[in-house]
Amino acid sequence: MPQLLSLSRAARLVGITRSALQKSIQSGQLSTFEGKVTVTDLLRAYPETQMENTTMLERVERIKIEAIYEQRRSDTTTLPHPEILMARLTKLSKELVSTKNELKKYLELIEALWQKITELEQIEDAQLRSHCHALYEWLVSEKQSYSQIINEAVIQLLAKDTVLRIMAAHVKLIPSGHEFFIEGSASILEAALQAGIALNYGCSSGNCGLCKARVVVGEVQKIRQHDYVISEAEKLMGYKLMCAHTAITDLIIEAEEAHHVTDIPFQQIEAKVKKLEKVTPDSLILSLQTPRTKTLRFFAGQMVTLRLEGGLSGHYFIASCPCDGRNLEFHLDQSADNSLTELAFKQLKLGQSVNIEGPKGDFVLQENSTRPALFMAYSHGFAPIKSLLEHAFALDTIASFHLYWLASHENGFYQNNLCRAWADALDSFQYTPLVATNDELSLKQALSSILLEYSDLSRFEVYIAGPELFITVVKGLLQQHQLPTTQLHSAASA
């Protein structure tokens, strides 16, 4: 039986994204067996694979990392902690010794079988002698074909796989089948969230126990103490807190995940103003930080209510990705008719308390869809689109992305450099800024260029966010170009 690799591991070995690998499968360039690929088929599809061929993968990883705030990045490093490295090396050494012993036994068995067949070829029964000779010829042929399969390229790929197993552990979740890698000394929970997977959790610091899950296969190691007490019965069943453990070996974990907006509870959290960045005269990026013991769970594209002491409040889309529920980003538009926004531009101070209530809304990524995606935002409607994009980058299942950002003037693209950086770093991502005033005629003129490029939208998922008029105009035009209503997702901003 040839060695099989999961799609996540195969993509990592040849240094491409998982979505790029899925393109090869869909085009027929690469075949799969029970959702996996063989080493030989992988090398046949990507013959240029080298040990150092990780450029595209590194680009995607950089995008994921830059979606997380600096303070959180400092908590983890690229290399695992020495204790974790030692544990992984010890485990692999034991596997190597066991494998070598098994191989020795099989080689001895084959040699004995070979000798028996040679002896049987001397018997008088011509028919039996003929069968023995045929079996001997088959063994010779199999030995030669095996030698051809195990060539230098295969050895190199398997060696790279071993190195990756030391540097990063692979995790598969059941029953969902989601997969991700644990880099550095990150906890299982941190790695899952960074990969865009909505594991169940609460505080992420070992107090609440909501991230408790059962390790079905593999070994883990505790990386931080936790106050939550796991019962002896649960320990015997393999339950661990995902926020307090990392992986020593590849894992299979039985864990709860949120699959729908109704799976995430309503939360009330008191956060602090961490940063106020006025990026243009009309745009303010507000960064809030929750306590270490209480992070916000949400889906990309959702909104919350922000409330100040005294009752002043407003509804805002979260502009950051769910990979870091402690550090939250909001984009405030000074032209919006909102008293909290007006106060934020003039009086809000660092360290000031802001109450968060939510999340709410169903403008979320269609995670089970692998269709190419178009994202369209008008002005500060970019906030939920940014969250969706960062989440999509983390999931790495969408074949291609194209972002159209419309604004009434050049200053309206208040994070233009970020979008251009994404386009430079990701081969599958395109970015087009378009200047258009928020009136029906100007919007239709701007959108006509999009429809010229994508005349048939039947195979796309489309996400649009912006003022009500923008949503209405876009919906009307897109549905005239074969876009099914089930593939059109929208969110109206103030």
Task: Check whether 172 has a pLDDT greater than 60.
Answer: yes
Is residue 66 domain-resident? Answer: no
Task: Check whether 389 has a pLDDT greater than 90.
Answer: yes
* Structure tokens, 381: 């409607």
Is residue 367 domain-resident? Answer: no
Task: Check whether 69 has a pLDDT greater than 50.
Answer: no
Q: Which of 10-19, 88-97, 149-158 has the lowest mean pLDDT?
A: 149-158
Phi, psi of 78 (to 5 degrees): -65, -45
Is residue 292 domain-resident? Answer: yes
Task: Check whether 486 has a pLDDT greater than 70.
Answer: yes
Q: Are residues 32 and 130 in the same domain?
A: no
Final residue belonging to a domain, choices 360, 395, 429: 360
CB neighbours of 25 closer than 8 A, spacing ≥ 6?
A: 7, 31, 32, 37
Q: Are residues 468 and 386 in the same domain?
A: yes
Of all residues in the chain, the percent with pLDDT exceeding 70 is 89
Is residue 219 domain-resident? Answer: yes
The pLDDT assigned to 166 comes to: 78
Q: Are residues 320 and 383 in the same domain?
A: no
Confidence class for position 23, pLDDT limits 50, 70, 90: confident
Phi, psi of 131 (to 5 degrees): -65, -40
**CB contact at 8 A, 3 and 38:** yes
CB neighbours of 198 closer than 8 A, spacing ≥ 6?
A: 257, 258, 259, 263, 264, 297, 299, 322
The pLDDT assigned to 24 comes to: 82
Give the DSSP H or E segment for 477.
Answer: helix 468-478
Confidence class for position 52, pLDDT limits 50, 70, 90: very low
Is residue 67 domain-resident? Answer: no
Final residue belonging to a domain, choices 221, 254, 287: 254
Is residue 267 domain-resident? Answer: yes
Is residue 75 domain-resident? Answer: no
Task: Check whether 141 has a pLDDT greater than 70.
Answer: yes
How far is it, in rounded angstroms, from Cα 220 to Cα 251? 8
Confidence class for position 274, pLDDT limits 50, 70, 90: very high
Range of the domain at 138: 86-160
Domain count, the chain: 5
Confidence class for position 22, pLDDT limits 50, 70, 90: confident
The pLDDT assigned to 151 comes to: 65
Is this prediction's pTM over 0.85?
A: no
How far is it, in rounded angstroms, from Cα 21 to Cα 164? 18
Final residue belonging to a domain, choices 219, 254, 289: 254
Confidence class for position 50, pLDDT limits 50, 70, 90: low
437 or 69: whose pLDDT is higher? 437
Task: Check whether 208 has a pLDDT greater than 80.
Answer: yes
Highest-confidence range of 42-46, 104-108, 323-327, by mean pLDDT? 323-327
